[in-house]
Structure formats: structure tokens, C-alpha cells
Amino acid sequence: MALRINDTITTREGFTVPSGTIVMFNTIFPKGSTEVHYNMEFYRNQQSVDDGESNYFPVTPQTMGYVETVEMNVYTGLTPTIVHQKLKDYLGGIFTGGTIDIII
């Protein structure tokens, strides 16, 4: 699963993220905490992902990662779909305009 930018969006830093951009990410769940770490990679489109091309940086490096601390009852109930939705919501808060979809 990944996220896809459907309509061009603008970051808080003024960078443009074009329609079709794919956001791949890894999650880390550190032992002994209820933190969820999201490490994002942006690709120009699905073909770039399929071809194994390098990712690009439409945002400043400090916004390529996101850490969220959640309550224990939420943490133990996380599913892949919930994790994707949480990242989608985070990106919706730092980007303006556009839409983001969860894709398989």
C-alpha cells in the first residue's frame, strides 16, 4: 500500500507536489513506547516506482519523517489501513489543496 497525490498540492515550504506522485513509507514501532515513526519517500509516479527509480524530495528533509505518539488502546489496534489513514491525515495537514488517496 502507498499514498497517491491526485491533484497537485503545495507544501508549507512552497514546494509543488504534482498529481500522480506516489508516497511510499516505512513504519517503525520502537520497543517500549507507543510511538509510530513514518519515514516517507516520494516518487514522481507509479512507473517510477515500478522501474526502481530514485525517489525525489518535494519537501524539506525534516518533513520526510513524522513521529506520532498514540494511546495504548489505539497502538494495539493499529492496522495497515489505519496507519495509512493516519499518514494521509498528517500529509493533509502539511499540504494545501489537492487530494490524497490510499492505493494498493
Residues of the chain with pLDDT under 70: 59-63, 104
- pLDDT at res. 60: 64
Q: Cβ neighbours of residue 14 under 8 Å, at least 6 residues apart? A: none
- pLDDT at res. 98: 74
Task: Say how many domains are in the chain.
Answer: 1
- pLDDT at res. 70: 95
What's the domain range around 82? Answer: 2-103
- What is the pTM for the complete model shown? 0.84
Q: What are 29-38's pLDDT values in tens digits?
A: 999 999 999 9
